[in-house]
């Protein structure tokens, strides 16, 4: 009885994260790209500070924990699409974020927000972000199916 509840909660969290990531892909990052490099770097530093808040923390950490629990229980139940969705949620939203996006954010935050810092940040951050967005959206789809 707990697995269906976990799947629903994991799906909601994953879909919300996927939506947030998509908003960055289609609006925030293109908007920043149109600004001078130093301005884009400074704005990104502020965005990185603003996103560290209880609502995002609960969504991000909670979804990760739910996805792990969902994957374990779904594997025990033999629900392999649910396992795949939960694993993709963790890979997309969490592993890529911790392995690539956060270190790039930290490096940018430690910089003087100049144009060179933005040049080193933008392309690799966007590449990793595109992958995590696609994986997170795919995870939500698999969890719904």
Cβ-in-10-Å burial (0-12, 13-18, 19+) of 63 comes to: buried
* Among candidate residues 130, 131, 135, the one with its CA nearest the CA of residue 25: 130
Which pLDDT tens digit goes with each residue over 100-127? Answer: 999 999 999 998 766 689 999 999 999 9
Q: pLDDT tens-digit profile of 52-94? A: 999 999 999 999 999 999 999 999 999 999 999 999 999 999 9
Q: Check: pTM over 0.75? Answer yes or no.
A: yes
């Amino acid at each position: 009885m707990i697995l269906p509840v976990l799947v629903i909660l994991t799906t909601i969290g994953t879909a919300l994260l996927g939506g947030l990531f998509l908003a960055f892909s289609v609006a925030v990052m293109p908007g920043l790209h149109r600004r001078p490099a130093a301005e884009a770097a400074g704005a990104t530093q502020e965005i990185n500070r603003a996103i560290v808040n209880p609502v995002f923390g609960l969504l991000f950490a909670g979804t990760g924990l739910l996805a792990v629990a969902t994957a374990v229980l779904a594997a025990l139940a033999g629900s392999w699409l649910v396992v795949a969705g939960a694993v993709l949620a963790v890979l997309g939203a969490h592993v890529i974020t911790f392995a690539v996006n956060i270190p790039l954010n930290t490096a940018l935050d430690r910089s003087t927000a100049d144009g060179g810092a933005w040049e080193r940040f933008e392309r690799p951050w966007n590449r990793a972000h595109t992958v995590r967005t696609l994986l997170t959206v795919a995870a939500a789809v698999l969890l719904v199916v």
